[in-house]
Amino acid sequence: MLAFRAAVAICLLSTWMSGASPRSGKKGWITIHLKGTPREIGRQHGRLLAPEIADGLKAIQTVVVHDTKRDWDFYRKAGRDILWPKVETEYREEMEGIAEGLKARGSKLDLWDVVALNGWMELAWYYVPALDKQQGKTTPGMPSAPEHCSAFIATGSFTADRKIVVAHNAWVDFVIGERWNIVFDIEPSKGQRMIMDGYPGLIHSADDFGINSAGIVITETTISAFEGFDTKGVPEFVRARKALQYAKSIDEAVGIFKDGNNGGYANTWLIGDNKTNEIARLELGLKNVTLERSSDGYFAGSNFPISPKLLAEETTGFDPKDLSTSPTARRLRWDKLMVDNKGKIDLKLAQQSMGDGFDTFDNKQDPNERTLCGRIDLSPRGSGGWQPPYGPAGAVQNKAADSALISKLSMRAAYGPQCGPSFRAAPFLAAHPEFNYLKGVLRDMPSQGWTEFRAAR
């Protein structure tokens, strides 16, 4: 009987993993190829990345529990009661598959851990503040919606070949960003094949940078100081994954993002269609939604609220006239870089921009919270309502692509900050003991060079 059960288990495992490729690593990144039905993709994901999912969950728990003063059980219940009812069957099955893959590796994590993990950003920084407001509570030291990421997308007369060039770096707490190092090549049974960067256990990119086989490229930056959340809406992580998987045009991507919008993880989305060389910027608030399109221009993201109406109605405490803030300083830097390099923007310049450490307010090279390559850990000011002085956060990894790479379902990526010194945890904590709650989970994050990733043959 034991031999029979073992044989059945081996057979099931073989079925789960058919189509998946063994994981590999390069310059700080882990690459995996997932293929099949939603449940098969989930099982492959959970089994291949089980240690990283457990480790990544611990890092996120450390940050959100400390910052929001809610325990992880709160997030599990919110994922189950608020998010799960609005998750469509396909993505339910994929997350169930991740939980099954984890269990097969002996993990104690379950489905509600996986759901809370996928929705951690919209729950912690959007649902919790909305809940506090509804209940008339305040959480001392609770950060505002974080200033995540710098990005641009350009086309037409702004680029060297008049085709699309796009780049993005992810800003997040270093303890989380050190683990944001997965390149997913996903070949689903329905929809488009995708390549994207991501975090272990998430079905979406989340920071976001992705390309699909229909030639659609999608990235984003968050809207600073955003306030608002609709508990009856569709989770952002569902809409983001669905847009990358199913959109064949800018219109289709925009439609998916807007359908059931819950206001969670409110972003300015930069979208490009490699078939037409058209680009778009979708500023997706809960009440205010603005779409701009161009076949000859650029859109940049620096967490600056673009629409004056959105800024007035859906942000708290954001002063667009204050040139010393991170979003405004970086917006000015993007505009100068784009205009000064009009007609010359290419993949090389895109990569260089991810390491740009010029502070427009002090008018000098000085990597800090005001530079495209964010280094809040080096700043005595911190960053707005998100990070205190010397907060261990900023640009943790970088991605870029041009039309040629997009057409091959490929991208270039660099792990670690591309400006300033590599981050070293021990000396940092010795100098800043106020962050000792991170001891044991905060790790070194060395700067790595750029490398190319391509969908598996």
pLDDT digits (tens, 9 = 90+) for 193-204: 999 999 999 999
- CB-CB neighbours of 257 under 10 Å: 25
Range with lowest mean pLDDT among 8-22, 54-68, 390-404: 8-22
What letter would DSSP give residue 25? Answer: E
For the residues 102-128, what does the mean pLDDT come to? 97
pTM metric for this prediction: 0.95
Q: Dihedral of the CA atoms 270, 445, 57, 218 (nearest 10)?
A: 10
Do residues 396 and 171 make contact, with C-beta atoms less than 8 angstroms apart? yes
Tens digit of each residue's pLDDT (9 = 90 or more) over 247-305: 999 999 999 999 999 999 999 999 999 999 999 999 999 999 999 999 999 999 999 99
For the residues 304-327, what does the mean pLDDT come to? 96
**pLDDT band at residue 147 under the 50/70/90 scheme:** confident
Asked whether residue 9 carries a pLDDT value surpassing 70, the answer given is no
- Could you tell me which of 105, 176, 72, 252 has the C-alpha nearest to residue 445? 176
For the residues 379-408, what does the mean pLDDT come to? 96
Average model confidence (pLDDT) for the chain? 95
Structural domains in the chain, sorted by start: 150-451 (3.60.60.20)
Greater model confidence, 11 or 165: 165
Tens digit of each residue's pLDDT (9 = 90 or more) over 239-253: 999 999 999 999 999
For the residues 66-74, what does the mean pLDDT come to? 96
What local confidence, expressed as pLDDT, does residue 319 receive? 94
What local confidence, expressed as pLDDT, does residue 15 receive? 59
What local confidence, expressed as pLDDT, does residue 10 receive? 47
Do residues 174 and 392 make contact, with C-beta atoms less than 8 angstroms apart? yes
**pLDDT band at residue 145 under the 50/70/90 scheme:** confident
What local confidence, expressed as pLDDT, does residue 339 receive? 98
Percentage of the chain lying above the pLDDT 70 cut: 95
What local confidence, expressed as pLDDT, does residue 46 receive? 98
**pLDDT band at residue 14 under the 50/70/90 scheme:** low
Greater model confidence, 299 or 2: 299
* Six token digits for residue 204: 């979406």
For the residues 59-65, what does the mean pLDDT come to? 97
**Beta carbons within 8 Å of 363's beta carbon, 6+ residues apart:** none
- 185 has which bridge partners? 33, 195
Tens digit of each residue's pLDDT (9 = 90 or more) over 17-27: 666 766 778 99
**pLDDT band at residue 8 under the 50/70/90 scheme:** very low
Range with lowest mean pLDDT among 92-96, 332-336, 382-386: 382-386
393-402 sheet: strands from edge to edge: 297-301, 150-155, 165-173, 393-402, 410-415, 451-454
